[in-house]
Structure 1
Amino acid sequence: MTLSSYSWTVFITFTCVFFLGTVFASDFAYFTGVNNEYDLKRFLVLGFIWLASLGACFVKNLELFTFSRATIAVGFIFLILAIVSACFGLNPFWSMVELVNFGLLAVAFYLFAICARSINRATLCSSIYAGALLFSIMTLSKYMLFLFFSYADSQSFDIHGLLSGYVNVRFFNQLQVMVIPLLLLAFFTENLVKFKRVTVAIVAMHWMVLLQTEARGAMLSLIFITVLLWWFVDVNARKRLMLTLLQTLFLGICLWLVFIILIPYWLMDTTTFQLRTGSSGRLDLWLYVLNAMPESLWLGFGPMSFTWAEGKPLPHAHPHNAMMQLLYEYGVVSAMVCIAWGGSRIYQRLRYVQQTKDLMLIPIVYALLSGLCYSQFSGVVVMPFAQLLLVFLLALQMPSQTRSIVNIGIRERLGVFFSVTILSGLILTTYQHDALRSALFPRIWLNGLLGY
């Protein structure tokens, strides 16, 4: 198998997996007998990584990126500290399960990066746009159908009532903050210009959904990253970016007022809109993390340890903030190293966008940064599809960077495949584990809490 054929196979499989776990999640969960869509997504992610690593064994002349010494050093330091933290934590087994999951995502990152490098950039961006557009059309069509059914039955709806395929609407919002920027490829890619009008309509509907689901963190993330990019792109790109944001946001507000506020009020004499000004308990969780940190300052309490933390103000399995999660579970040293390295890489990437004036790169960077920004308000780094999509966007940053390339032998590829098989099997053994409490607070699985 050639590298090009393998790359397209991986991306097509990724798209199919993504659609099975989102648009067709309810039907596929019923077909497979999985109890819920969240666990189904975890199974699909594990299956995709396993298949991708299996396919890599049959590729001729497979090449792999090597990284800078600084990146390798940061990765090595984090890995050593994470293993030590896991060994000294209260539940070493579950800490290792968390690290195994991240290890599998690292394999997915490498494979995505290899595949992205072998495909023409314009063709790849067009394919990504097509996938994002099709996903949006199918999801929003179902959303509007449920909305019209609620009109016909004169039934009110809450923030979860119009979306299917997700245990919690926030899991869809996590995908939205990365999909919406990818739709903007129509404004920054020459061969996609003809799709501008349909893109405006689709993005406006996404804004309507964000408003209806009261996804404040998602909207703030998209707006904040737009303003951040405004400082690093040229004048023409600024105009495109800001005009698109303002135009779609205005249309989205209009759609929200008509379909979510006025029509329900006219038909049912009621509206579900509430102006929420609180933090939904997030500030309490973050304060809990900061107050608990002195007890295990340097190494943290161990990966995944927030799931069994005592005295939490809310029974969530994660603190809804990637940095706080890093601090609590991995300690100050790992957190500072990762934050410093990540911050420097983000700045370098923004400078690269500024210097190269590569317009197609803007939506890709926008999507990645929006996902990272929203991870400070939601569990983007915890949920299976949000994790995989974030890894995919991170891998797309690699092809434009100059790195030395090394060939991967068949022994190494077989070693990776067998490792992925063993590690995937380890995670699968934890499904419906006796140690997991029967509470719907997701982490690795939907029942993500452990007994104290």
Structure 2
Amino acid sequence: MVLSVQQRGSIFLVVTVCLLVVGICAPFSGHDLQRVMQIAIGFCAVLYGSSITPTEPWVDRQTAWGLALIVGLGLASSLLAHQPLWALTEMALFVSCAAIALAFASLRRHGGEPLDRVLLLIVVLLCLIKTLQYLYAGVLAFASGGHTMNPDLLLSSFSNKRFYGQFQTFTLPLLALPLLLPTVSRSLRGMAFALLCAWWLIAISGGTRGTWLGMAVAGMVVALIGPWGRRWLGWQLAGMLSGLWIYWLVFTVLATYLGIDNSNDASERLTTSLSGRGPIWWQGWHMLTERPWLGFGPMHFADIANKVAAHPHQAVLQWASEWGVPSTLCVAFLAARSGWATIVVLRERAQFSERADLLRLCLFAALVGALTQSMVDGVLVMPTSQVWLALVVGWLMALHPWRTPVTASWPLAWRAWKLLSALAIALLVSVALRDVPHIKQAQRQYLDTLGSYLQPRFWAQGVIAR
């Protein structure tokens, strides 16, 4: 029996949702499990993408040539790197992210507007599960009878609270969509606002400044787009202030009344310190100046050991130091070009209240917030963030209207892409099969000999220096 395109898309969506639930919501989850989840989603995306034939190209010719140039420069950089296999693995990771983005774009194109409701429901359910986990952990902490409380311990399923914050940066903008839709009932709107407030409560208690910065910049950008952007900002401010008020009631008033000390208050994060980023930013800069053309090779910031991190916590420095300045300029140009095209559509549709228009606004806010956070955090490194970046980009691609008449697809380019994505996912699967059985041993060996804590990159122990 031959499955239809819609049936294949449904299978891909169901499998992806199951993997996301395990990676994001399972109490035993963490960086390594989320990386395996990402590879599995990439594998499914490549299978789904290979089973369909696009009737029109996803990008214009200039963008296609730009992407081909980035791949070519990355391949040259990888082959000249100190550890070519790890460099190619990083390249394969980004190719798999592109495959995930195209899979979601194809899914939305074939599923139409009903799929928007399904995807939004998935986002809401994931955030609801995480909220219930947080509230349950909070009740247990208050009922334990202890004299101190650390709000960071209420966060689960992520190896670091910053990774949790990155997930929130992608989802906070989308949770405001039901509040913007004029057809949503008052009761559903109230529940949506309650979830938004709770999600802001977690974002505040987590103390991830990158999330706060990303949401602030996203709010300023969308407010300039039109009235619906300002309404989006208004709902976000209302949710933030409500979350802040709840945080004060719970972690200050109630905790003081019960004689519990808050050992890691969110107010302690209201600083301008770099939190150790200075040395790794300097390392990235020195790598950039030493090899400006092709860089040290993808993932090769982790090949130069330091005491802070296996990536520079800065997207531009990371790409420039590892892939080279020409590749960085090409990526920046394509990102700016795509962003401007989206802004043009948003401005033209600023007065409309169609679901697709409001969804596009929320997705763009999520993308702006995530890219802003990537300037101070490892959004381009962490597996969950990479998956959500691909999802948001693919969703936006499917919603974007063509400015020029639709042309025929490019069969040769599509076959080349299918071959590249298949090779990329094959490499990722082989690396996972090679490393997963020995992950714990590698972590113990690293901690015993080189460091006091793990430095995540591809795996939780991300240092590849020999």
TM-score (norm 2): 0.86
Residues 14-413 of structure 1 mapped to structure 2, 5 A cutoff: 14-26=16-28, 37-56=30-49, 63=55, 65-121=57-113, 123-155=114-146, 156-194=148-186, 195-233=188-226, 235=227, 237-272=228-263, 273=265, 274-276=267-269, 277=271, 278-310=273-305, 312=306, 314-357=307-350, 358-399=357-398, 400-402=400-402, 404=407, 406=409
Distance 1:193 1:187, change over 3 A: farther
Tell me the alpha carbon deviations over residues 107-127 of structure 1, each in whole angstroms, 9 at most, x when there is no partner: 222211111111222x22322
3-state SS of the aligned residue for 1:406?
coil
| CA distance, structure 2, for counterparts of residue 413 and residue 315 of structure 1 | 37
Counterpart contact for 2:39–2:425, Cα < 8 Å: no
User: For 1:269-302, what per-residue CA distance to the aligned partner results, in whole angstroms no more than 9, with x for missing partners?
Assistant: 4223152321211233223322342211221111
Supply the AA of the counterpart residue of 1:72. Answer: A
Gaps of 5+ in 1: 30-36
After TM superposition, give the deviation of residue 191 of structure 1 in Å.
4.3
Aligned residue pairs: how many? 437
* Post-superposition offset of 1:175: 0.6
Does 2:426 align with 1:422? yes
Question: How far did residue 435 of structure 1 move?
Answer: 8.3
Report the CA distance shift for 1:224/1:193 in structure 2 as closer, same or farther (over 3 A).
Answer: farther
- In 2, Cα distance between equivalents of 1:417 and 1:86: 17
Answer yes or no: is the 8 Å Cα contact 1:128–1:182 preserved in 2.
no
Question: Which region of structure 1 is more displaced relative to structure 2, 342-351 or 299-308?
Answer: 342-351
Q: Give me the whole-angstrom Cα distance separating, in 1, the residues matched to 2:287 and 2:367.
A: 31
Between the aligned partners of 2:426 and 2:324, the Cα distance in structure 1 is 28
After superposition, give the CA deviation of every residue in 1:129-151 in whole Å (9 maximum; x if it has no partner): 21121111111111111111111
Unaligned runs of at least 5 residues, structure 2: 351-356, 448-453
Rounded to whole Å, the distance in 2 between the matches of 1:261 and 1:334 is 49
Change (3 A) 1:63 1:417: farther
The answer to whether the 8 A contact 2:287-2:296 is kept is: no
Q: Residue 64 of structure 1 contacts residue 408 of structure 1 at CA under 8 Å; is this kept in 2?
A: no
CA offsets, 1:203-253, max 9 Å, x none? 1112211221111110111111111111112x2x14422320221111011
Q: Does structure 2 conserve the Cα–Cα contact (< 8 Å) formed by 1:381 and 1:387?
A: yes
Note closer, same or farther for the CA distance 1:153–1:250 as it changes in structure 2 (3 Å cut): same
**Change beyond 3 A, Cα 1:332–1:52:** closer
1:160 aligns to what SS in structure 2? Answer: helix
Contact 1:320 1:376 in 2 (8 A): yes
Deviations 1:69-107 (A, max 9, x none): 221121122111111111222211211111111122222
Structure 1 CA distance for aligned equivalents of residues 58 and 244 of structure 2:
46
Which segment drifts farther, 46-55 or 360-369?
A: 46-55
CA-CA distance at 1:54 after TM superposition = 3.1
8 Å contact kept, 2:165–2:210: no
The code of the aligned residue for 1:323 comes to V
The whole-number CA distance in structure 1 between the counterparts of 2:318 and 2:19 is 28
d(CA) in 2 for partners of 1:135, 1:324: 32
- The aligned amino acid for 2:119 is I
Q: Decide whether aligned partners of structure 1 residues 58 and 337 sit closer, same or farther in structure 2, where only a CA change above 3 A counts.
A: closer
Residue 326 of structure 1 deviates from its aligned partner by 0.7
Partner of 2:451: none
Runs of 4+ residues over 4 Å off in structure 1: 55-59, 61-64, 407-418, 433-437
Once superposed, what is the RMSD of the aligned Cα atoms?
2.6
TM (normalized to structure 1)? 0.89
How far apart are the structure 1 equivalents of 2:253 and 2:286?
A: 45
- Report the equivalent of 1:33: none
Tell me: CA distance 1:283–1:421, structure 2 relative to 1, closer, same or farther (3 Å).
closer
CA distance in 1, matches of 2:458, 2:255: 38
Aligned to 2:457: 443
The answer on whether the counterparts of 1:160 and 1:168 sit within 8 Å (CA) in structure 2 is: no
Greater CA drift, 358-367 or 188-197: 188-197
Amino acid in the other structure paired with 1:443: R
Deviations 1:3-52 (A, max 9, x none): 222223322322221111111252xx6xxxxxxx2211111222222234
% identity of equivalent residues: 21
Displacement of 1:353 in angstroms is: 0.7
Q: Tell me, what secondary structure is at the counterpart of 2:409? A: strand
Deviation (angstroms), 1:320: 0.9
Kept in 1, the 8 Å contact 2:176–2:236? The answer is no
Inter-partner Cα distance in structure 2 for 1:418 and 1:89: 23
